[in-house]
Amino acid sequence: MVSEDTMSTQNQYYGVDKVDNRTEREKAIDAWLPITSSRNAKWWYSAFHNVTAMVGAGVLSLPYAMSELGWGPGVAVLVISWIVTLYTLWQMVEMHEMVPGKRFDRYHELGQHAFGEKLGLYIVVPQQLIVEVGVNIVYMVTGGKSLHKFHTLVCKEPCKDIKLTYFIMIFASVHFVLSHLPNFNSISGVSLAAAVMSLSYSTIAWTASVDKGVQPNVQYGYKAKSTVGTVFNFFSALGDVAFAYAGHNVVLEIQATIPSTPEKPSKGPMWKGVIVAYIVVALCYFPVALIGYWIFGNEVSDNILISLEKPTWLIAMANLFVVVHVIGSYQIYAMPVFDMIETVLVKKLNFAPSFMLRFITRNLYVAFTMFIGICFPFFGGLLGFFGGFAFAPTTYFLPCIMWLSIYKPKKWSLSWITNWICIVLGVALMVVSPIGGLRSIIVQAKTYKFFS
């Protein structure tokens, strides 16, 4: 049975001017699937979901990226990325309801509208899955490493050193429980805690750096001895920055949870939330990247918290904040994957929507990401590689291509020029960052240990 609350939700879904032609079964399925089941989110839900999705633990590697980019290019890349991704995010918010009475609740639905039923799926789904599953695996490793670091800092002698594998398992155990929350609105509490934590550990990272003061003999030149090394490191750092702006993969799914009518479309509250989120992103990214690099120069570690050993209690606390934040981030990126899996099982393979189906599929997914994380604890290196293929398109230029294909702005108009600039920058990023990522994997491969 479909509840009255869900029915009114579905009316908001289709707008007043549109007749709902779905069968009872389709209505029941939409009322069960994670993305379309709950549409009563407030604008501030969008703010903290977007902060949680965007400000990943990647923020802690920004000073290291700066050290490989240098002052001028580093600042330029950070600022341009912030502006370009805010613009492409605005486009996605606008395109969510560009057909009156219809909502594109999922990234691939918008892709299908822009490129056609089959082609849209082939273009969007593989890229979205690489990003979302990739981020989930990285967060398994990040969560485990931060727990490990916390344990090392807090528990001195005669503490036994515990393998990273076990910490990844401890981190995963939380998700075996949280993954059964049905939809985006039900994880809003987790997401709010995660957003607060991201601002907290970013603030700890740059204030502790300022407190430490500029290091003696600090150097801002490139660390690599050869020109080739410098160029490849530069490419790899571009991939790190692209990874830092990866929230677009879940933005339509987040907007789908906001109620919408012809008089009050969802893009109003959604955009309000995005602006707040982007201000928080700037407050996290810019101080950490610039101050971290200014204090440590090219000797900065690829995680700024590792460069900051003291005060111990503060750095331990920051690592714990990272764990809480990554728990929320994992759930935000997992929800669209759950939605895809459950849609295929229920709509294509005709399984009945049930608690048992959800219980089995979600547990298997968490177990899969945990297993890959344990096998490849160096997955971050792989991400620079994959990041270029999937992060750059879905964040930097796929929204622009959709915009050009749907709205067809006049040649040489401001909209046309802006979109083409974003496409050229995005494609360049997609080509060069995997090259840098691949090289860093090869260089580090000598010291990799499986099941470490």
> In the chain, where are the structural domains located?
45-447
Among left, alpha and beta (phi > 0; psi -120 to 50; other), residue 296 is alpha
Q: In this prediction, what percent of the chain has a pLDDT beyond 90?
A: 25
pLDDT at 447: 67
Phi, psi for residue 262 in degrees, rounded to 5: -55, -35
pLDDT at 42: 84
> CA-to-CA distance for 232 and 433, rounded, in angstroms?
9
Q: Read off the pLDDT of residues 235-261 as tens digits, 9 standing for 90 and up.
A: 888 877 877 777 788 888 889 889 888
- Residue 216: pLDDT over 70: yes
> CA-to-CA distance for 137 and 319, rounded, in angstroms?
18
Q: What angle do CA 406, 407, 409 make, to 5 degrees?
A: 135
- Residue 5: pLDDT over 60: no
The residues, ordered by sequence, that sit 6+ positions from 266 with a Cβ below 8 Å of its Cβ are 96, 97, 103, 255, 258, 259, 260
Q: Read off the pLDDT of residues 88-133 as tens digits, 9 standing for 90 and up.
A: 999 999 999 888 878 888 888 999 998 988 998 998 898 888 888 9
Name the nearest CA neighbour of 47 among 325, 247, 347, 221.
247
> CA-to-CA distance for 356 and 122, rounded, in angstroms?
30
pLDDT band at 360 (very low <50, low <70, confident <90, very high): very high
- Residue 15: pLDDT over 80: no
pLDDT at 366: 95
- Residue 365: pLDDT over 50: yes
Higher local confidence (pLDDT), 228 or 357: 357
- Residue 303: pLDDT over 80: no
Provide the 10 A C-beta neighbour count for residue 414: 9
Mean pLDDT over each residue of the chain, to the nearest integer:
84
pLDDT at 401: 93
pLDDT at 2: 43
Q: Domain 45-447: give its CATH superfamily.
A: Amino acid/polyamine transporter I (1.20.1740.10)
Describe the crossing of helices 164-178 and 355-375 by its angle, rounded to 10 degrees.
Answer: 160
